[in-house]
Structures are given as C-alpha cells and as structure tokens.
Chains A and B, each alone.
Chain A
Amino acid sequence: MQIMKRSGGIALLATGLAAAIGLTAGMANAADKVVMAVPTFLTGAGAPAFGVPARNGAEVIIEAINKGTLPAPYDKSGKGLAGRQIQAVIYDESGGGVKQVAEFRNKVQKQGVDLFVGYISSGTCAAITPVAEELKMLTIFPICGTPRIFEEINTNPKYVFRTMGHATADGVAEAHYVKANMADVKGYTGINQNYAWGQDSWRDFDLAMKQLMPSVPASDKAQWPKIFSGQYGAEISALMLSKEPLVHSSLWGGDLEAFIFQGSARGLFRKKKLLFSVADTSVYRLGKKVPTGVILGARGPYGIFAANVDTPLNNWFRKVYIDRYSVPPVGGSYQAAQGVLAAKFAYDKAAAANGGKFPSKDQVIAALEGATYQGIAAEVHMNRSNGHQAATIHQIGILEWDKDAGEPIMTNVTTFPADCVMPPPGVNGTEWLKGGMKGAKC
C-alpha cells in the first residue's frame, strides 16, 4: 500500500494533467459566427515575401466581408458569410509540415474552427491535405503551388480546394513567352533553390521548353544554391561564364533580393536575360533597385500584373490595401484575398440555394465545386480535379521602371488562357508535359 501511495505521483501527474486539459476542451463557438483559421507565415524567411502580404490581403477582405463593404459583384449579398460574421484565427505556418498537421488538428478539435483559408508552402499543403480530408474539414488553399496535391496526394478531393493555378502553369507560360519573344535564344540555364519548389520549377520549365523549343539546349550546369544561402558570388560567376543567354530562376524573398543586389553590383542583368517566376513578391519593396528588362511572372494575374486592371473590386482592393499598409498588394495579397472570396462566394451561394438559411458544410462545398467566381482581378474557374482546383489566366511580361510614376511596371505582357498553360482536367501535369501538352488551347 505504501508503494501504491507513492507511485501515485507518476500516475496522478500523467492522468491528472491529461484530464484537466481535456476538460477545458470543447469551448463551443457562438452559433452566429464562422471561425476561419488563416495559417500563414508570420515568422521566418517566408513572412515578408508571402506570409505577411497574404495575411494583409486576407485581413482586408475579411474585414470588408464582415462590414458588408465589398464592391460589386459582392455588394448585394449582405454582411458576413451567409449572414454570419467571420471570426479570423490568424496563426503562424512556420515549423514544417509535421508541426502544421498537429496545429491543424488542434484548431479543428480544440478551437472548433469551421474552415481554413490559408497555407503558403507546398510542403504544408501536401501535409495538410490528407488530414483535412480525414477530419472532413473545408480547407481552401489560396497559394501553394505543387501539382501533387490533387495529382498524387488526393485525386478525389471532397473537402480541400485550391483557388489558384498550380505550378505547372508557371513553367508552361514561361516557355510559351520565351518562344514568342526570344525565338532565336541559344540556350538556357537556371538558378533555383535546392528544395522542392526550386526543383519543381526548373523541371516544369525545362520540360515545357523541350516540347516548345526542342532545338534549344538546356545547360547541364544549372545552379542549385541551398535555400537561404544568401551568398551567390560563385553562382553569379558561373552564370556569367555560361554560354546560355537565358537564365531561369524561381528564387523568392530574401534569397531573390540578395541575388539581385549581388548580381546588379556585377552587371549580371546587363549580360544575361533573367526570367524570374515569382519575383513580383519583391518588386515594390525593391523600388528603384529592381533589375529592369527581366522577364517576370507572378503565378497568375496578381500583384504587379493586376496594377492596371480597372474593375471596381480591384480598384477598391488596391486602394484599401495601400491606405492601410502603405505598400501596393503583391501576389500573395491577391491570392489570399482570392481564397477568402471563394468562401464568401460559396457560403452566399449555398445560402441562396438553401432558401436563405445558413448552409451546411456539404452545401457550401457543393456550391464551390465546379463554380466560377470573381477573384480580385480575374475570374476563377474551379474546373479541375472534380471542381476543386482552380484555373485562371496566366500572365508573363517584362519588368520596367516607370520614371514618371516612380514605380515598377509590367510591359509587353502576354496573357495565356488557363487551358493553354494548365493540363486538361484529369491529366497529370508532368505526363502532360512529357507527352507534348496534348489538348492545350492557346
């Protein structure tokens, strides 16, 4: 008995702790609210380039939804999501997929979240998809790029949506642009970070080039700096020494900016034609330091590409955003806003179909599946992967500095229809590329 009494310490502490915390669970949410979790990078290298702009974009839209101040075409559907106010839970996406899965479960099971609109990194999205499906949680990915989400991880999604085109479109649009504007290019090389995003970006661009310009050789010395290395001296020398005139790069954030500073100081951008697939994240911040004349993409009609789209929604968004954060919205801001709009659209549409009553989760999902809705600057067609994957137009152009306006602008922009740069519904991106992009409508 003595033993029993003393050993109680271990048992008591373990079970007591578990029970005590277990009891605080189930803080039920007020029925008149929709709890929307918005995971995005608040710390680490992803924060300035994507995370914080995305949070800002989401905040602007969520606030407008709650106040009912969104302009057309969302000006008639009243305040909130189907009449209910959004309670946003914004939190950090840092720490890797495993930690985010844990956090996802916490948010669902402990904080009673109703839907997720967020995640930036492909890694996190890939990790979240199976859990979201398992927990039957409506999850809208506004940004992450990897095609694997609906091509490998879950080919038959029920609860997970993605409201922007995936990364295959980037490579294809870039290759089309090069073919149209640099027909006599002698070869291409690249500098991409040595991690999933960089590897995928180069592979897709390379595959698309091999289809569209089969006679143009790729360098066998494409550069693979470690992510966040920040020092590109040797890489820049190697690029200067390479014979290929075109350099493909999917660098972003601090790495991109360091590369631009170090490259500019050595005249790299006068010697080589650079193609940056996501550099829009930095253009406004760099201001006059931007390298002009480079080819730029923004993964769709976002950020700098949307600067001159003259619709009430876009004008309103840019104005409110700039007033509030004193910088123009970049790609991430647009994409996150577009994700939140998907929720607005789906809840309202589902409520209308439900006779004005607040819709069930399944009704919301049914409303979003296969639908077409208005994003900030372009229409979003949810017409891939059972209506869960969006397709939008894609744009590529040349970055220049507008002296009069004192800001960077896009020139020579080509717009590609979604069906030109994305694989047809049900077709795997890599196979589509390797098979000669059959069925593309350009």
Chain B
Amino acid sequence: MRYIDKTVVGLTIAFLALLFADFFMAEWMRFIGLQSLARGTVALGLLVLWRTGLVSFGHALYFGFGAYAAAMLTLLGYHDAFFLVFAGTLVAGLLAFLLGFLLRRYRAIFFALLNMAFSMILYGVIVKTEALGSTDGFSVLAPTFLGYAPEGEAVQTTLFLFTLVFTYLITLSVHLYLKTTLGGMSMAVRENEIRVEYLGYSAEKVIHVKYVFSGLVAGFGGAIMALAIGQVDPDSMANWTVSGEFVFITILSGIGNVAATFIGALVFELIRTYAFEYAPQFWQFILGGSLLAIIMFLPDGIWSVLSRLRKAEKAPSP
C-alpha cells in the first residue's frame, strides 16, 4: 500500500481508460496517441535527467539508434514487436552506457552540447550509408505480436495496446524510482554534488545511471516510432531538431509529474497537427510561438496549470 499514491492511481485510471478507448478511438487520434506515447517516453527520460540538473540536446541519438536498430532487424527478417522493441531499447541503452563514461563528467550547457555533437555524428553516419537508404531511410513492415499478425486497422490497435502497456509500466516504475534513494539523489546531485561525494556516493555514478535510463527509454520511443510509422529516416529520427522537440516537450510538461510528459507530448502533437492543417505555410511560426508563450507564461509547464486548478478547487472547501 505504501507505494500507492494519487499519481499511481491516476496513471492506472488513465491507462485503463485509454486501454478501453483503444477500441473506439478515431484512427487518426490513435495514431497521434501512439506518437505521443513514444515521444512522451523519451521526454520521461529527459525529465529524469532534468531533475538531476542536466538537459540533453542530443537525445535524438538514442531515439534514432533505437529506431534504426529495430528497423534494421526487420530487414534481417525479425518482425516480432516484443523482440524489436526490446532490442531497440537495449542497444540504445548500451550506447548510452558507453558514452555515459565520457558524458557524466560534464555539466550544464557542455553536457547539452556534447550530446548534440554525438547525435550529429550518428546523423552523418546514417546519411552516408547508402545501404540504409541514406536520407530516404527505409520502410518497416508491420510487426507481429508473439505470432499474431494483425492486418489493416488491427495493426495500429494492437500496437497501441502494446505500447500502452509498456509505457504504463515504464512510467509507473519511473514514478516509483523517483521515490527511491537513487531516484532522490537526482535532487541531491542537482543541488550539490560536493555534498553527495562527501556523503559517500559518486555523483557521476548517479548521473550515469540516469543517463543510461534516459538512453533506454529514448531507444524504446524510437523503436515504437519506427513500428508505428513504418518508416525510419535520419531527418525525422536523428537530426538535432528532433532533439529540440524532445526538450520542447519536457519543458512544455514541466518536471512536476511523470504523467505530465505524456500530456505534454500530446499537446505538442496536437499543436503541430492543427498548425499544419490550418497554417500549412506558417506552422513553424505557430509551433515556435506556442513554445515561447509557454516559456514566458507557464514557466513550470502545463502541469502547473493543473496544480493551480487543484489549489483553486481546494480553497473554498472548509
């Protein structure tokens, strides 16, 4: 019982509601939902890093790595979603583990930019590799699920279900993790690394653990995205602008709550979709404008709106 708090309950209700909604949702909405889940998971990793005081402008590296790893496995004839997503997650995490040894030594803007530099190297490698379709990328066949091979709309329905279950589990574990000693050390490292060292723990190790985690979930997001879209290409998967979008979502969401990242991702998707629909020439203007508005007027992200509403609701009660 001591693990259950309102966030856990809220997440579970949302999970069950979406699970149910999966069978009734408009197709395009499910698709937007699927993307929001994928991007939201990446933002979840960034949230964990951000709580440690670090922002990465290069997580498209892990997103792209996970996506391409899953997509390349389909070229080798593997189509099971469980295997593909697991593999994509794992290789991205492995890469994060290796690069983490270098990156954990850096802070602030240097950390942010080093990440970006590494992501640009991956971008360059993909663009140069003709076997992977260079800038065109290549398409990914619809996955199977432990032998079940859905067709038509069922592909998306099943994939949504699949993604939903895993994202739910990941989000829940992140939420619980943040309450553990290691999770709490995020705050400690952000606030004062020297004290952490002199309390007897390595700040770099804390950062490394969080970095690997963020790499894992970014790889997960990438693999899901590759399967959901049925296509990988470097501009949408590994370019620096993609990393920028992830940071955008993180800031949009705020670091208040794990659930916020998914709401942030959804809002981002919707802003983009509607900007695209109603202002096809000026969608960047709208996207950039909304981001600016959020930075200026909602410094703690959309979660703060919810908190404020809740406070307002509480006030009149005796």
Asked whether any CB of A lies within 8 Å of a CB of B in the complex, the reply is: yes
* Contact surface of A with B, Cβ cutoff 8 Å: 3-4, 6-11, 13-15, 17-19, 21-22, 25-26, 42-43, 90-92, 95-99, 101-103, 105-106, 108-111, 121-123, 126-127, 129-131, 134, 146, 148, 153, 194-197, 199, 227
Also in contact, A15 and B276, with CB within 8 A (given A101-B229, A109-B28, A127-B233): no
Interface centre among B24, B127, B130, B135 (most CB of A within 10 A): B135
In whole angstroms, what is the CA distance A91 to B274 when docked?
Answer: 12
A10-B11, A130-B230 are known contacts; what are 8 more A-B pairs with Cβ within 8 Å?
Answer: A3-B9, A4-B9, A10-B10, A11-B17, A96-B234, A102-B35, A148-B133, A194-B127
What does the 1/0 interface line of B1-39 toward A look like (CB < 8 Å)? 000111111110110011001001111110111010000
B91 within 8 A of partner (CB): no
In whole angstroms, what is the CA distance A237 to B306 when docked?
Answer: 61
**Measured between C-beta atoms, what is the minimum distance from B273 to chain A in Å?**
6
Can you show 25 pairs from A to B with CB atoms below 8 A apart?
A: A3-B5, A7-B6, A7-B7, A7-B8, A10-B7, A10-B13, A10-B263, A10-B306, A15-B14, A15-B18, A15-B21, A18-B21, A18-B29, A22-B26, A42-B281, A98-B233, A98-B237, A109-B28, A123-B137, A126-B231, A130-B139, A134-B155, A194-B127, A197-B135, A199-B130
In whole angstroms, what is the CA distance A110 to B277 when docked?
Answer: 10
B195 within 8 A of partner (CB): no
Residues in chain B near residue A10, CB distance under 8 A: 7, 10-11, 13-14, 257, 259, 263, 306
Also in contact, A129 and B277, with CB within 8 A (given A10-B259, A109-B26): no
**Measured between C-beta atoms, what is the minimum distance from B235 to chain A in Å?**
4
A196 touches B134 (CB 8 A): yes
Residues in chain A near residue B284, CB distance under 8 A: 43
Residues in chain A near residue B239, CB distance under 8 A: 96
Residues in chain B near residue A126, CB distance under 8 A: 133, 136-139, 231
In whole angstroms, what is the CA distance A314 to B5 when docked?
Answer: 71
A7 touches B9 (CB 8 A): yes
A22 touches B25 (CB 8 A): yes
Residues in chain B near residue A134, CB distance under 8 A: 142, 152, 155, 230
Interface centre among B10, B263, B273 (most CB of A within 10 A): B10
Residues in chain A near residue B6, CB distance under 8 A: 3, 6-7
List the 10 closest pairs (A to B, CB-CB), nearest first.
Answer: A7-B10, A98-B236, A10-B10, A96-B236, A96-B235, A109-B28, A11-B13, A7-B6, A127-B231, A196-B134
B139 touches A21 (CB 8 A): no
Residues in chain B near residue A105, CB distance under 8 A: 27-28, 31
B100-122 CB contacts (< 8 Å) to partner A: none
Residues in chain A near residue B8, CB distance under 8 A: 7
**Measured between C-beta atoms, what is the minimum distance from A56 to chain B in Å?**
14
* Contact surface of B with A, Cβ cutoff 8 Å: 4-11, 13-14, 17-18, 21, 24-29, 31-33, 35, 127-128, 130, 133-139, 141-142, 152, 155, 225, 229-237, 239, 257, 259, 262-263, 266, 270, 273, 276-277, 280-281, 283-284, 306, 309-310
**Measured between C-beta atoms, what is the minimum distance from B140 to chain A in Å?**
8
In whole angstroms, what is the CA distance A435 to B8 when docked?
Answer: 63
Residue from A9, A21, A98, A148 in contact with B29 in the complex, judged by beta carbons closer than 8 Å: A21
Residues in chain B near residue A111, CB distance under 8 A: 277
Residues in chain A near residue B306, CB distance under 8 A: 9-10, 13
**Measured between C-beta atoms, what is the minimum distance from B264 to chain A in Å?**
11
Residues in chain A near residue B127, CB distance under 8 A: 194-195
B18 touches A18 (CB 8 A): yes
Residues in chain A near residue B14, CB distance under 8 A: 10-11, 14-15
**Measured between C-beta atoms, what is the minimum distance from A146 to chain B in Å?**
6
In whole angstroms, what is the CA distance A97 to B24 when docked?
Answer: 28
Residues in chain A near residue B29, CB distance under 8 A: 18, 21-22, 25
A136's closest neighbor in chain B, by CB? B152
In whole angstroms, what is the CA distance A7 to B258 when docked?
Answer: 13
In whole angstroms, what is the CA distance A4 to B137 when docked?
Answer: 46
Residue from A18, A110, A227 in contact with B33 in the complex, judged by beta carbons closer than 8 Å: A18
B259 touches A14 (CB 8 A): yes
Residues in chain B near residue A109, CB distance under 8 A: 26-28, 31
Also in contact, A14 and B28, with CB within 8 A (given A99-B236, A126-B138): no
Residues in chain A near residue B273, CB distance under 8 A: 102-103, 106
Interface centre among A7, A9, A97, A122 (most CB of B within 10 A): A97
A14 touches B263 (CB 8 A): yes
A16's closest neighbor in chain B, by CB? B17
A194 touches B26 (CB 8 A): no
In whole angstroms, what is the CA distance A148 to B127 when docked?
Answer: 17
B137's closest neighbor in chain A, by CB? A97
Residues in chain A near residue B26, CB distance under 8 A: 22, 25-26, 109-110
B263 touches A17 (CB 8 A): yes
Residues in chain A near residue B276, CB distance under 8 A: 91-92, 103, 106
In whole angstroms, what is the CA distance A17 to B155 when docked?
Answer: 24
A153's closest neighbor in chain B, by CB? B139
Residues in chain A near residue B263, CB distance under 8 A: 10, 13-14, 17
**Measured between C-beta atoms, what is the minimum distance from A119 to chain B in Å?**
12
Residues in chain B near residue A146, CB distance under 8 A: 136
Also in contact, A91 and B134, with CB within 8 A (given A9-B10, A14-B14, A194-B128): no
In whole angstroms, what is the CA distance A384 to B139 when docked?
Answer: 22
Residues in chain A near residue B5, CB distance under 8 A: 3
In whole angstroms, what is the CA distance A146 to B229 when docked?
Answer: 20
In whole angstroms, what is the CA distance A134 to B231 when docked?
Answer: 13
In whole angstroms, what is the CA distance A231 to B82 when docked?
Answer: 46
In whole angstroms, what is the CA distance A11 to B13 when docked?
Answer: 6
B10 touches A131 (CB 8 A): no
B305's closest neighbor in chain A, by CB? A13
A101's closest neighbor in chain B, by CB? B229
**Measured between C-beta atoms, what is the minimum distance from A434 to chain B in Å?**
15
**Measured between C-beta atoms, what is the minimum distance from B304 to chain A in Å?**
12
**Measured between C-beta atoms, what is the minimum distance from A22 to chain B in Å?**
5
A106 touches B277 (CB 8 A): yes
B10 touches A11 (CB 8 A): yes
B135 touches A123 (CB 8 A): yes
Residue from B9, B18, B25, B280 in contact with A91 in the complex, judged by beta carbons closer than 8 Å: B280
B231 touches A101 (CB 8 A): yes
In whole angstroms, what is the CA distance A96 to B133 when docked?
Answer: 13
In whole angstroms, what is the CA distance A102 to B35 when docked?
Answer: 9
Residues in chain A near residue B141, CB distance under 8 A: 130
Also in contact, A97 and B136, with CB within 8 A (given A11-B13, A21-B29, A126-B231): yes
A102 touches B31 (CB 8 A): yes
In whole angstroms, what is the CA distance A227 to B32 when docked?
Answer: 31
B137 touches A195 (CB 8 A): no
Residues in chain B near residue A102, CB distance under 8 A: 31-32, 35, 229, 273
Residues in chain A near residue B24, CB distance under 8 A: 22
Residues in chain B near residue A7, CB distance under 8 A: 6-11, 13
